[in-house]
């Protein structure tokens, strides 16, 4: 359990190992990307280096293909003619503004539309007809008609040439619509500079004429449309007038204007009918009669209880006033006579009789005036009643006519609306007819195209630049695709992050020609790397757990070399070590150490046919014993599955400080998992840039399934550049500098 706890920790963080780590594995070079890094630059560098041949070959092939294609391309010349486009045009006379006004935010869309018109098939057809390009061999090529060709075939051939000419025009014309001005260049490319200039100028001329033709067609269309609308509205108006007139006759509706009865179409919809006018007049008369009756009634009510002589009408009557003056004169005359004569005097009696007659006349006249007031009241009341009856009669007539007037008003308004619509259409038609043949001046030709001198394509520099960019993109895509399907383990981070086991160390890639030199030099990068692995291994396992197994997922990953070199290092450190070649399929320890295949070996010792000391290789370094494999047994699995392996391990555990088993690979063979049950720890060897992640994971999973204690992984043949590190990464890791303290 103590060993397991050590395995989960980082061996670099212990006090015993920290000086070695500071010297050989500085943090800046340990190979881990900062946690907050957005891009794994080490992986990118490694990927670029690994795919360098593919990238360079792809870019080179694309550049070569671009060079060849450019040299084989036909030179093309471009001629440019310019036209000026005024979106608002010049309205010379009223009626040219057929289309709605162009808003300022629609200018860009309008200009782009004009550019599309220039590149349209219709304009190309007009240019082809203008220059007769369908029959121009310099443009469409030599096309000979057979003498036996019929009329139908000749038409088909001509149509084919015409279509070819139009397609060539559309493929080579370009209208570059600017955003900062209204000058549109019309360019045309051809292998003949004269043809290019001629067609560019033809395009400019046809575009200007196309605008003129479009204006004329728009005006002609507007006239035709308005003419049809005028005819239609005139017919509808006639029908509406006849219908309204017929309904008016049927309903007896007659309107008047200025007091004169008129027909329906002499007045307007506001002219009242005779019935309505009569009702208004009767109502007005009735109102006046009612007011008169009320006034007369008030006069009579005031006079009915008042003596006649006290009425102001009597008092203000001139006849009464004359009679009153006459009576006064008679009374004065009577007073004079009574002073001279007695009452029986004839003159006095006569004057008294005259006075009585005058007073009787005054009373009679006053009574007549009072009776007149009453008669005025009675007459006013009778007139009011008569007018009230007349008003009710006329009102009934008006109410009866009201429903008919609603229907009549609808018909009349429809006729009036059609009458106004017809007047507007006639006015607009006259305006457009006046402006039909006047050009609005929206497009004008500015500059003609000159015959170009220099070709515009092919452009070697441009094509090579484009090819370079395309080659880089293609190479990047191929590299990414290749990297995606390549799961080989290369970097130090991948070992721990993806395989889930601690990394005990790694060894640099050493060419075969330098391997002997590196092994013989204890301070070489290779031997320094194995020294660091041994340190990590010592830290990971207690001394009492001294039986180790070295295996890998497949052959030739460096497990045998690692086992031999670690065994030699342990022996140099004074620790008695036994190296056992347990690869019963393909043993190689004896050959690595320069010995031939012995007569007895591991299998014979296990089976008890010979003693251990008799099977050891001779001439080994001090403290190092090597048990090789002699003849490979026919049944390795049965041998390793027997209890003899456990007994052998128990017999050598206490005799040696460390026992190392070099076993066969895991994949496809059961030897290593069987042997792992009898050892204290298993070290898994992974060769960088060769072993696939899936293969290594499957091998580790198989070991774990039988309870194997995998204490760590050793990455062999590590290539710094392939992992994204600098070129001298492994040498800075393990380079020994004399004079520097540890």
pLDDT tens sequence across 272-294: 667 777 778 788 888 888 888 88
| pLDDT given at position 438 | 52
616 confidence band (pLDDT: 50, 70, 90): very high
The pLDDT of 230-257, averaged and rounded, is 76
| pLDDT given at position 98 | 52
Least confident of 10-19, 106-115, 654-663, 732-741: 10-19
Asked whether residue 186 carries a pLDDT value surpassing 90, the answer given is: yes
| Top-ranked range on mean pLDDT: pick from 217-221, 226-230, 607-611 | 607-611
Cβ-contact 230, 238 below 8 angstroms: no
31 confidence band (pLDDT: 50, 70, 90): very low
Asked whether residue 269 carries a pLDDT value surpassing 60, the answer given is: no
| pLDDT given at position 655 | 92
Tell me which of 724 and 344 has the higher pLDDT: 344
Asked whether residue 24 carries a pLDDT value surpassing 70, the answer given is: no
| pLDDT given at position 10 | 43
| pLDDT given at position 43 | 72
Cβ-contact 519, 526 below 8 angstroms: yes
The pLDDT of 315-335, averaged and rounded, is 83
Average pLDDT, the chain: 80
C-alpha span between 520 and 643 (Å, rounded):
39
C-alpha span between 688 and 343 (Å, rounded):
179
- Which domains can be identified in the chain, with CATH numbers? 274-435 (no CATH), 503-734 (3.40.50.300)
Q: 63-96: buried (b, 16+ CB within 10 Å) or exposed (e) per residue?
A: beebeeebeeeeebbbbbbbbbbebebeeeeebb
| DSSP H/E element including 147 | none
Least confident of 39-48, 72-81, 185-194, 538-547: 39-48
247 confidence band (pLDDT: 50, 70, 90): confident
Give long-range contacts, CB 8 A cutoff, 24+ apart: 104-113.
Answer: 108/179, 111/85, 111/87, 111/177, 111/178, 111/182, 111/184, 112/177
Closest to 702 measured CA to CA, from 651, 735, 656, 665: 665
Asked whether residue 726 carries a pLDDT value surpassing 80, the answer given is: no
| DSSP H/E element including 28 | none
| pLDDT given at position 27 | 40
Least confident of 129-138, 257-266, 672-681: 257-266
229 confidence band (pLDDT: 50, 70, 90): confident
The pLDDT of 300-314, averaged and rounded, is 75
Asked whether residue 466 carries a pLDDT value surpassing 90, the answer given is: yes
C-alpha span between 374 and 737 (Å, rounded):
153
C-alpha span between 170 and 160 (Å, rounded):
15
Number of residues in the chain:
742
The pLDDT of 582-597, averaged and rounded, is 90
Cβ-contact 11, 503 below 8 angstroms: no
Q: Cis link prior to 458 (omega < 30° from 0)?
A: yes
Residue 38 CA, distance from chain mean position? 27
| DSSP H/E element including 682 | strand 681-687
Cβ-contact 684, 713 below 8 angstroms: yes
| pLDDT given at position 228 | 85
| pLDDT given at position 267 | 43
Q: pLDDT for 359-415, tens place per residue? A: 888 888 888 887 888 888 888 888 878 888 877 777 776 666 666 677 777 878 888
263 confidence band (pLDDT: 50, 70, 90): very low
C-alpha span between 730 and 736 (Å, rounded):
12
Cβ-contact 450, 204 below 8 angstroms: no
């Amino acid at each position: 359990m103590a060993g397991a706890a050590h395995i989960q920790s980082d061996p670099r963080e212990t006090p015993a190992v920290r000086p070695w780590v500071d010297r050989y594995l500085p943090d800046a070079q340990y190979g881990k990307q900062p946690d907050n890094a957005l891009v794994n630059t080490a992986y990118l560098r490694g990927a670029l280096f690994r795919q360098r041949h593919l990238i360079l070959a792809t870019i080179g092939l694309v550049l070569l293909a671009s060079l060849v294609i450019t040299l084989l391309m036909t030179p093309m010349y471009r001629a440019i003619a310019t036209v000026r486009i005024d979106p608002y045009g010049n309205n010379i006379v009223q009626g040219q503004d057929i289309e709605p006004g162009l808003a300022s935010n629609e200018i860009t869309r309008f200009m782009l539309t004009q550019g599309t018109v220039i590149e349209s098939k219709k304009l190309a057809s007009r240019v082809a007809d203008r220059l007769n390009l369908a029959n121009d061999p310099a443009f469409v090529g030599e096309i000979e008609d057979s003498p036996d060709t019929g009329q139908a075939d000749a038409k088909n051939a001509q149509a084919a040439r015409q279509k070819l000419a139009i397609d060539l025009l559309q493929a080579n014309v370009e209208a570059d619509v600017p955003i900062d001005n209204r000058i549109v260049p019309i360019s045309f490319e051809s292998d003949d500079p004269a043809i290019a200039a001629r067609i560019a100028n033809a395009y400019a001329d046809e575009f200007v004429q196309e605008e003129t033709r479009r204006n004329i067609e728009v005006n002609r269309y507007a006239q035709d449309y308005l003419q049809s609308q005028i005819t239609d509205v005139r017919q509808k108006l006639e029908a509406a007038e006849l219908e309204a007139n017929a309904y008016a006759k049927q309903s007896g509706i007659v309107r008047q204007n200025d007091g004169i009865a008129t027909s329906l179409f002499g007045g307007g919809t506001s002219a009242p009918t005779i019935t309505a006018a009569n009702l208004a007049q009767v109502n007005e008369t009735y109102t006046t009669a009612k007011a008169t009756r009320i006034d007369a009634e008030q006069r009579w009510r005031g006079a009915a209880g008042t003596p006649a002589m006290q009425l102001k009408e009597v008092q203000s009557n001139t006849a009464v006033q004359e009679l009153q003056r006459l009576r006064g004169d008679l009374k004065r005359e009577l007073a004079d006579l009574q002073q001279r004569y007695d009452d029986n005097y004839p003159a006095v009696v006569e004057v008294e009789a005259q006075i009585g007659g005058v007073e009787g006349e005054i009373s009679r006249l006053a009574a007549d005036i009072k009776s007149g007031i009453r008669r005025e009241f009675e007459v006013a009341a009778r007139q009011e009643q008569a007018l009230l009856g007349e008003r009710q009669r006329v009102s009934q007539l008006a109410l009866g006519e009201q429903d008919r007037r609603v229907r009549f008003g609808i018909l009349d308004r429809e006729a009036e609306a059609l009458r106004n619509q017809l007047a507007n259409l006639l006015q607009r038609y006259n305006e457009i007819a006046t402006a039909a043949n006047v050009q609005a001046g929206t497009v004008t030709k500015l500059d003609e195209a000159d015959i170009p001198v220099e070709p515009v394509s092919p452009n070697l520099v441009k094509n090579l630049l484009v090819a370079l960019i395309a080659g880089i993109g293609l190479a990047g895509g191929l590299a990414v695709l290749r990297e995606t399907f390549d799961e080989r383990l290369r970097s130090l981070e991948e070992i721990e992050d993806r395989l889930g086991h601690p990394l005990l160390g790694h060894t640099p890639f050493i060419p075969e020609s330098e391997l002997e030199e590196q092994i013989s030099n204890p301070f070489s990068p290779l031997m320094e790397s194995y020294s660091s692995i041994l340190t990590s291994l010592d830290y990971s396992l207690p001394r009492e757990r001294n039986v180790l197994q070295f295996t890998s997922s497949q052959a030739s990953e460096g497990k045998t070399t690692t086992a031999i070199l670690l065994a030699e290092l342990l022996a140099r450190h004074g620790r008695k070590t036994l190296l056992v070649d347990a690869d019963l399929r393909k043993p190689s320890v004896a050959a690595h150490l320069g010995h031939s295949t012995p007569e007895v070996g591991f299998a014979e010792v296990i089976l008890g046919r010979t003693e251990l000391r008799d099977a050891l290789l001779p001439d080994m370094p001090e403290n190092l014993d090597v048990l090789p494999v002699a003849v490979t047994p026919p049944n390795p699995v049965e041998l390793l599955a027997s209890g003899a392996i456990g007994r052998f391990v128990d017999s050598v555990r206490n005799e040696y400080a460390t026992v190392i088993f070099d076993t066969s690979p895991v994949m496809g063979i059961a030897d290593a998992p069987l042997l792992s049950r009898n050892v204290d720890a298993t070290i898994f060897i992974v060769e960088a840039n060769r072993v696939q992640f899936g293969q290594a994971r499957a091998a580790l999973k198989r070991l774990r399934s039988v309870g194997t204690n995998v204490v760590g992984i050793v990455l062999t043949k590590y290539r710094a550049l392939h992992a994204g590190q600098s070129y001298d990464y492994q040498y800075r890791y393990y380079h020994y500098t004399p004079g520097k303290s540890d």
